[in-house]
């Protein structure tokens, strides 16, 4: 299986879409070599603006460009887009329903060595709270390409969360539709829901569980808002046991959203795997996930506990 970078996929896809979409404008806040928006900038210098380290101004300008008819992509690290510039995203973009695609990279613990100050763990929570904001976390590079294409076709603000680390291209041949989950592997005993790049961890856990005769379904939820309620309920009805995994805070991420759906519709046994009220730290991305319990071992442990 290919191991690819979501960021490179993003940059390449943008550069490709620039040809078709003449109104596509890309903004970055001095991180374009990391987010890979520079790939678009090299091809379309007249439609690429590296604004300097001013995320608030970037989000405001993004709104102004969008309200003037431009299809705007605004990129930086997750921490700065949703933390530093939150109020501008809320008032100038979301409240005005400006057609801005906020595509961030370096989300979560897998940002790695830069440590807690740059590891954004509450962005899904912040963005899901904004009325009308679509929130998407693709699992790998091929899905990132499809997501970027899909959000250009949709009207209204959205948030796309990418990670720094290269990840296996699991979803090479799978369709992406905003608001729809993907049954990556079917199973009868436990449903493992994942969003973003933790999909490969969920699949590893499935393989481990198989060895002891536990049949796990692996469901990828690229869209966290609007969430695919039907898939959650159907799968919970089938297996009766639900585990969620994500590189995000335990508060307000995929696990919270699934707990809400189950609580209101079909209460089922649920175990959430996420960062439990902690800041991150420096280290290699995958080591950090392991240390903070975002791991296949943890999924297996919880699944076995549930199986009793």
Partner 1 sequence: MQKPTSKPTTHNALSATELKTLRLKANEIRRWVIEMVFSAKSGHIGGALSIADVLSVLYFKELNVDPKNPNWDGRDRLALSKGHASAAYYAALALRGFFPKEELLTFRKINSKLQGHAYKGVPGVDVSTGSLGQGICVSLGMALAAKMDGKKHRVYAIIGDGECDEGSVWEAALNAPFRKLDNLTVILDRNEFQNDGSMYNILDTGSMEDKFSSFGWNVISIDGHDMQQIVDAIEEAREAKSKPSVIVAHTIKGKGVSFMENNGSFHGKPPTEDEFEKAIAELDEARSKI
Active-site residue numbers? 55
Q: How far apart are CA 166 and CA 2, in angstroms?
A: 10
Instruction: Give the DSSP H or E segment for 14.
Output: helix 6-20
Out of 20, 45, 46, 173, name the contact with partner 1 by CB under 8 A: 46
Q: Which is nearer to partner 1, 86 or 292 (CB)?
A: 86
The per-residue DSSP string of 136-152 comes to E--SSHHHHHHHHHHHH
**What's the min distance (Å) between Cβ of 299 and partner 1?**
41
Determine the interface stretch with partner 1 among 51-59, 145-153, 257-265, 298-306 (rule: CB under 8 A): 51-59
**Whose Cβ is closer to partner 1: residue 92's or residue 169's?**
92
How far from chain centre, in Å, is Cα 185?
A: 20
Give 29 or 231: the residue with its C-beta nearer to partner 1: 29
Report the nearest approach of partner 1 to the CB of residue 29 (Å).
Answer: 10
Binds partner 1 by CB under 8 A, chosen from 1, 2, 3, 87: 87
| Torsion on CA atoms 87, 255, 78, 197, rounded to nearest 10 | -160
Element (H, E) at 183: strand 182-185
Q: What's the min distance (Å) between Cβ of 155 and partner 1?
A: 16
Give exposure, 110-149, as e/b (b: 16+ Cβ within 10 Å). Answer: bbbeeeeebbbbbbbbbbbebeebbbbbbbbbbbbbbbbe
Distance in Å, CB of 46 to partner 1, minimum: 7
* Closer Cβ to partner 1, 49 or 176, answer by number: 49
CB of 115 to partner 1, least distance (A): 24
Tell me the per-residue interface mask from 54 to 73 with partner 1, x by CB under 8 A, - otherwise: x-xx-xxxxxxxxxxxx---
The yes or no reply on residue 118 touching partner 1 (CB under 8 A) is no
Closest CA to 5 of 131, 167, 151: 167
The residue among 2 and 91 lying less far from partner 1, judged by its C-beta, is 91
Our finding on whether 92 is near partner 1 (CB under 8 A) is: yes
Lookup result for tokens 């076995």: 304
CB neighbour list of residue 260: distance below 8 Å, 6 or more residues apart: none
**Residues near partner 1 (CB under 8 A), total:** 28
Per CB under 8 A, the list member of 51, 178, 183, 233 interacting with partner 1 is 51
Sequence-separated (6 or more) residues with CB below 8 Å from residue 146: 138, 175, 176
226: which 2 tokens? 């609007």
Give the binding site for partner 1 (CB under 8 A): 25, 46-47, 49, 51-52, 54, 56-57, 59-70, 87-88, 90-92, 95-96
């Amino acid at each position: 299986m290919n191991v690819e970078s979501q960021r490179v996929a993003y940059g390449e896809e943008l550069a490709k879409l620039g040809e078709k979409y003449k109104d596509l404008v890309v903004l970055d806040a001095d991180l374009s070599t990391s987010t890979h928006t520079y790939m678009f900038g090299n091809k379309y210098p007249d439609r690429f603006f590296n604004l300097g380290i001013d995320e608030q101004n970037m989000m405001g300008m993004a709104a102004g460009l969008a309200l003037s008819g431009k299809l705007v992509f605004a990129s930086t690290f997750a921490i700065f887009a949703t933390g530093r510039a939150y109020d501008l995203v809320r008032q100038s973009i979301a409240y005005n329903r400006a057609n801005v695609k906020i595509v961030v990279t370096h989300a979560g613990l897998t940002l790695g060595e830069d440590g807690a100050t740059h590891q954004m763990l509450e962005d899904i929570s912040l963005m899901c709270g904004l009325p009308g904001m679509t929130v998407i976390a693709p699992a790998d590079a091929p899905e990132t390409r499809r997501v970027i294409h899909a959000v250009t076709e949709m009207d209204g603000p959205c948030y796309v969360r990418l990670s720094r680390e290269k990840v296996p291209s699991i979803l090479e041949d799978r369709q992406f539709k905003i608001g729809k989950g993907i049954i990556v592997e079917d199973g009868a005993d436990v449903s493992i829901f994942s969003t973003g790049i933790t999909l490969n961890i969920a699949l590893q856990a499935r393989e481990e569980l198989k060895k002891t005769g536990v049949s796990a379904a692996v469901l990828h939820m690229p869209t966290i808002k609007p969430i695919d309620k039907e898939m959650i309920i159907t799968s919970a009805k089938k297996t009766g046991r639900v585990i969620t995994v994500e590189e995000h805070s335990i508060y307000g991420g995929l696990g919270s959203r699934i707990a809400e759906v189950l609580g209101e519709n079909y209460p089922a046994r649920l175990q959430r795997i996420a960062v439990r009220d902690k800041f991150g730290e420096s280290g290699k991305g995958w080591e950090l996930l392991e240390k903070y319990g975002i791991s296949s071992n943890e999924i297996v442990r919880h699944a076995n506990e549930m199986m009793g």
